[in-house]
Chain A
């Protein structure tokens, strides 16, 4: 038996050796996944990232808005609402930073592809699609063993390699374009006459029955998660609502939900919102509203019929926002009832400030242009149709300023109204030190590294600052007073460091020069204090230059500000006696007189 045993023993050793080799090879081949799934696999959280499109800072009830958003307010009350969260001033730059954790000028979205300037054409970083060289958080988390889902608006490229399936999402249902009808394939404008949709990498020729963007995106996400509910791996779900981007449309039964609720007008609504924001601790007691833009009418100056028409716009917008909340509630209910809400992190924010431009008003001023005819040919523009599936309406600058309360400007601008977003972070089972966090200076670039780090990966090469330690309660904030946030869009520039913000806003909305604001005391950016803090001012302007040089910023030689000064009424003259640096306040004071 010994030889046999010896033979047997030798054979066994050889088998073990071969098996060990095989195990090593196996481990090497599937190394990332294996490493990622050990040893803390069971404890890694699920992530649900919910992005609204063109939602204003003050629209949610938890941020002072009068719109009913009970589900999001619940996330706010059980989680944390952050008051100093920055996003890009427009859609695709923000989304590129969200996906990669990198500055948009580095990852192909130095400008929106729709607005790429002649001197930016063909330049690296200005391709108008999300660069394939930089992995998305979806790719990174998938490599770390996560299930990855995406539904909603994409707007980062439409080639097969650029759509969600090509960028790391296992399952996806997406509107590829920047926008369009919320009910069908009808496009956003003459450059996007028909919307593109994909599902799991396939380009769609039909939409699901009863398609409405907010409803369908939510339903699809629930469907994807539910299909894999037996899968033990954690998931990351990116739900990118198209609402409340124009055209403002809601399901029929929601059309009249806010009827007559905005009859007091934009000025009054802004005042009420600011008062609530102060009560909520989101704004300092001394905060004031940014003045109504100089070319916009006081609501009370409108005749009753005009007020009705104007108010109807906000009624539809509010219904869209509430419908988002309703669907967020459905998603949370599903996760809760299916036992998947535990160990989940939910993040909610907006991709940029509210949309102040009104393409229909512009089209109606120039009815003979083909781009104008697109709207009348493809949508019903009548007042009576507003909000319906076949209509197109945008709520314009007056109501956008309401959504951006108390800030100056709206989407597209580097003023706070364009780039400050509500941010809700909810973690199951985690006690929150305070419902409102006014200290943490956060940026949309931070989200990707946060997800990667919390999933057990390495996010150090990303530019964003991970919030993982902050969310675990290990540190108060990811940025200290010396860290900066800087951005550029359409030649408008901003840099924030601590409580200070320097901004350059082209004319006519700005002075065309750098200005300095104490953004904590003056969130509406009305009092330029650059003369009082010249050294600080120079430091920030210099730091922005360094940011631009380091991040491939090429200032455009054509922007949407071009010619605007000639098209808009001139600003009212400011008397010499008025305090220097506070010229923007002059309009309001004159109104009050």
Chain B
């Protein structure tokens, strides 16, 4: 069962992106209330992990993921603070170049992933921001609290290891921090963004005949971003992930069917962001695991993400249309 659990970790890790569990650069900047953003994200990820099965078998597995995420975000004010509501719907496919232990013949899965819904409320630095306040708002130090709940709605086959859905609930709690290091002026902004987060998992009560319990996964995500022009930025990205020990219980016997230790991984990468027009933004990200370790459970992989945001404001958009600009 261990390989099954590790695969799930891997999938969680890479589908974290899909589930907004790795936020990305400049996604936690406060927005004016009544702003709407629809985001289409395409992620291609490849994980190459050493796996040991029952401490006896070790095999290499490559899992390719092509994921598409549609998300919607809306900003509102609650208790005088800026709140961002968010819903995400992933879909896509995953495949592996070799049969997975314990699985049937399935080396390919596609369909919808798990839906996530959540919100982020600002604690420090960003009171509610009507347009007129947002215009003169300058980030100094922003601290927010985010909660994202993922529902087991995705396609899932209990007899397969490779699935788009996870067959369990999870809740991510994060504390996005944005610190401006320079004047808050387009083309001059530099920020340091750090997001510590923890993901709590419910049980997957049936994965190839076992129940999987998983300890929380901890992560710290950091971005050093800098405007290149008023309409483009670059970000150096870094993520550390750890935790997530898994225990497997055979559903038939009720006995332990094995366990995996936690997964320590570091990823580094670069993001380029472009403001195409007043509505449209494009972000390109590439990240890959870094560091070498003798740990056979070390994760090795990379991902490339293309994110297209279409944003509009309830009040400003009709005005812009009426003015033709």
Which residue of B131, B136, B185 contacts A385 across the interface (Cβ within 8 Å)?
B185
- Cβ-defined contact, B185 with A308, below 8 A: no
14 A/B residue pairs, CB under 8 Å, sorted by A: A256-B138, A303-B319, A305-B316, A308-B131, A308-B133, A308-B136, A312-B136, A380-B185, A380-B187, A384-B138, A384-B183, A385-B185, A385-B188, A388-B185
Inter-chain contact B131/A305, CB cutoff 8 Å: yes
- Distance to closest chain A CB from B55 (angstroms): 59
Q: How far is the CB of B305 from chain A (nearest CB, A)?
A: 28
Of the candidates A259, A260, A263, A384, the one whose C-beta lies within 8 Å of that of B185 is A384
Do the beta carbons of B131 and A304 come within 8 Å of each other? yes
> 10 other contacts beyond A305-B132, A380-B185, with CB at 8 A cut-off?
A260-B136, A263-B132, A305-B131, A305-B135, A305-B316, A308-B132, A308-B136, A382-B186, A384-B138, A388-B183
| A308-B135 contact in complex given A380-B185, A384-B184, A388-B183, C-beta closer than 8 Å | yes
A26 contacts partner chain B, Cβ-Cβ < 8 Å: no
- A312 — which chain B residues lie within 8 A by C-beta? 135-136
Q: Name B126-178 residues within 8 Å CB distance of A.
A: 130-133, 135-136, 138
Q: Complex formed: what's the CA distance from A350 to B185 in Å? A: 32
Cβ-based interface call for B230 (8 A): yes
Q: Is the CB of B185 within 8 A of A304?
A: no
Q: Say whether B230 contacts A382, CB under 8 Å.
A: yes
In the assembled complex, how far is the CB of residue B247 from the closest CB belonging to chain A, in whole angstroms? Answer: 52
In the complex, which residue of chain B has the Cβ closest to the Cβ of A306?
Answer: B132
Interfacial chain B residues near A303, Cβ < 8 Å: 319
- The reply to whether A304 and B230 form a contact with Cβ atoms under 8 Å apart is no
User: Given the complex, which residues of A lie within 8 Å of B188, measured CB to CB?
Assistant: 380, 385
How far apart sit A252 and B138, CA to CA, in the bound complex (Å)? Answer: 13
A298 CB to closest chain B CB (Å) equals 17
The CA of A382 and the CA of B133, in the complex, are separated in Å by 16
Q: Is the interface of A mostly helix, strand, loop or mixed?
A: helix
Q: How many of chain B's residues have a CB under 8 angstroms from any CB in A? A: 16
Chain A min CB distance to B148 (Å) = 31
Whether A384 pairs with B132 at a CB distance below 8 angstroms is no
A384 to B183, CA, bound (A): 9
Instruction: Output the least CB separation between B297 and chain A (Å).
Output: 47
Which B residues are CB-close (under 8 A) to A385? 183, 185, 188
A309 — nearest CB in chain B belongs to which residue? B135
Interface centre among B135, B186, B187, B230 (most CB of A within 10 A): B135
How far is B230's CA from A383's CA once the two chains are assembled, in angstroms? 12
Report the minimum CB–CB distance from A283 to chain B (whole Å). Answer: 32
Q: In the complex, what's the smallest C-beta–C-beta distance from A319 to chain B, in angstroms? A: 13
CB-CB < 8 A to B185: which residues of A? 380, 382, 384-385, 388
Taking CB atoms, residues of chain B closer than 8 Å to A308 are 131-133, 135-136
Q: Which of B130, B183, B187 contacts A304 (CB 8 A)?
A: B130
Chain B residues lying within 8 Å of A380, measured Cβ to Cβ, are 185, 187-188
Residues of A within 8 A of B230 (CB): 382
Chain B residues contacting A384 (CB-CB under 8 Å) are 138, 183-186
State the CA gap A193–B230 with chains docked (Å).
Answer: 25
Chain B 51-84 near chain A by CB (<8 Å), digits 1 or 0: 0000000000000000000000000000000000
Is A330 in the interface zone, CB < 8 Å from B?
Answer: no
Q: Is A307 an interface residue (CB 8 A)?
A: yes
A266 → B minimal CB distance (Å): 16
CB-based nearest B residue for A307: B132
Which size class do A's interface residues fall under? 10 to 19
Closest residue of chain B to A312 (Cβ to Cβ) is B136
Distance A312 CA – B137 CA, assembled complex (angstroms): 11
Which A residues are CB-close (under 8 A) to B136? 259-260, 308, 312
Per-position 1/0 for A473-489, Cβ under 8 A of B = 00000000000000000
Within 8 A of B (CB), among A525-559: none
With CB as the reference atom, state the residue of chain A lying closest to B135: A308
| C-alpha spacing A479/B130, complex, angstroms | 56
Q: Which of A207-260 contact B (CB under 8 A)?
A: 252, 256, 259-260
Expressed in whole angstroms, the Cα–Cα distance for A312 and B319 within the complex equals 22
Residue interface mask A285-318, B partner, CB < 8 A = 1: 0000000000000000001110111001000000
Binary CB contact string for chain A from 429 to 450 against chain B (1 if under 8 A, 0 otherwise): 0000000000000000000000
Q: Which 6 A-B pairs have the closest CB atoms?
A: A308-B132, A304-B132, A384-B185, A308-B135, A385-B185, A305-B131
Cα–Cα distance between A252 and B188 once the two chains are bound (Å): 15
Complexed CA–CA distance, A307 and B133 (Å): 10
B138 CB contacts on chain A under 8 angstroms: 256, 384
A382 vs B188: C-alpha distance when bound (angstroms): 11
Residues of chain A within 8 A (CB-CB) of B316 are: 305
Across the interface, name the chain A residue whose C-beta is closest to B319: A303
Closest to B32 in A: A305
Q: Which residues of B contact A309 (CB under 8 A)?
A: 135
Report the minimum CB–CB distance from A235 to chain B (whole Å): 40
Query: Which residues on A sit within 8 Å (CB–CB) of B135?
Result: 305, 308-309, 312, 383
Give the CA-CA distance A58 to B296 in the complex, in Å: 77
Q: State how many angstroms separate the Cβ of A83 from the closest Cβ of chain B.
A: 36
Min CB distance, B34 to chain A, in Å? 12
Q: B181 to chain A: closest CB distance in Å? A: 14
- CB-CB under 8 A from B130, the residues of chain A are 304
Specify the chain B residue showing the minimal Cβ separation from A308.
B132
Contacts of A388 in B (CB 8 A): 183, 185
Give complex CA distance A308, B188 in Å.
Answer: 22
From residue A382, how far is it (CB to closest CB) to chain B in Å? 6
Contact code string B213-227 (vs A, CB < 8 Å = 1, else 0): 000000000000000
- CA gap between A263 and B135 in the complex, in Å: 13
Distance in Å from the Cβ of A364 to the closest Cβ of chain B?
14
With the chains together, A382 CA to B186 CA distance in Å? 8
With a 10 A CB-CB cut-off, give which of B138, B185, B316 has the most chain A CB atoms: B185
Q: How far is the CB of A572 from chain B (nearest CB, A)?
A: 24
Min CB–CB distance A380 → chain B (angstroms)? 7
Q: Bound complex: CA of A308 vs CA of B129, how far in Å? A: 12
B residues less than 8 Å from A305 (CB atoms): 131-132, 135, 316
Quote the shortest CB–CB distance from B184 to chain A (angstroms).
6
A385 to B138: give the CA distance in the assembly, Å: 11
Expressed in whole angstroms, the minimum distance between the Cβ of A59 and any Cβ of chain B is: 22
B186: chain A residues within 8 A (beta carbon): 382, 384
A93 to B226, CA, bound (A): 47
